[in-house]
Chain A
Amino acid sequence: MIAWLAIALLVLPLLGILLSAPWPQLPGLLLAPETLQALGLSLGTGAISTLLCLILGVPLAVIMARSVAWSVLPRRLLRAAVTIPLVLPPVVGGLALLLLLGRSGILGRYLAQLGITLPFTTGAVVIAQTFVAMPFLVFAVEGALRGADRRVELAAASLGASPFRVFRTVTIPLVAPGIAAGAVLCFARALGEFGATITFAGSYPGITRTLPIASYLASQTNLNQSIALALVLLAVSVVVLLSLRDRWLPGVRG
Chain B
Amino acid sequence: MSLSRRLTYREAVREAMQEALRADPRVFLMGEDVGRYGGTYAFSKGFLDEFGPERIRDTPLSELGFVGTGIGAALGGLRPIVEVMTVNFSLLALDQIVNTAALLRHMSGGQFSVPLVIRMATGAGRQLAAQHSHSLEGWYAHIPGIKVLTPATIEDARHMLWPALADPDPVVIFEHAGLFNMEGELPDIDGVDITTAKVRRAGRDVALITYGGCLPKALAAAETLATEGIEAEVLDLRVLRPLDTAGIVAAVAKCHRAVVIDENWKSGGFAAEVMARIMEHAFYELDAPVARVCSEEVPIPYAKHLEEAALPQPEKIVAAVKGLFA
* Binding partners A and B: no
Q: Which residues of B contact A (CB under 8 A)?
A: none
